[in-house]
Amino acid sequence: QVRLVESGGGLVQAGGSLRLSCVVSGRDLTAVNMAWFRQAPGKEREFVAGLTWRASTRYADSVNGRFTISRDKARKTVLLQMNSLKDEDTAVYSCTTKDVRAVSISMDQTEYVYWGQGNQVTVSS
């Protein structure tokens, strides 16, 4: 019933910007916590950014100040604006939901329930 459809990935020059979107079906974003994770080749999947049902945010240290997570006014789409992209940002990015409200964002992927299909972001220098 819950569907997460990601878009916006692609190839971008180092220092450039890219915006990912995640359209959420079956849930209002005021009812759940959301997050973005990423996984680079040969590395563990890691937390990138999260958004609570009240629109509080949390970021990994590696992206803090460069990435911004937000939601649209219709409360159906989660956005990840990525600026000043670096080679190390290259990864498959996945949108996910905890599927419940929580006061704070967890960085533990095991606490998230539904996942999008993954979206490749490649940064070239």
What is the predicted pLDDT for the residue at 100?
Answer: 92
Q: How far apart are CA 36 and CA 117, in angstroms?
A: 12
What is the predicted pLDDT for the residue at 42?
Answer: 94
What is the predicted pLDDT for the residue at 2?
Answer: 94
Strand partners, 86: none
Low-confidence ranges of the chain (pLDDT < 70): none
What is the predicted pLDDT for the residue at 1?
Answer: 86
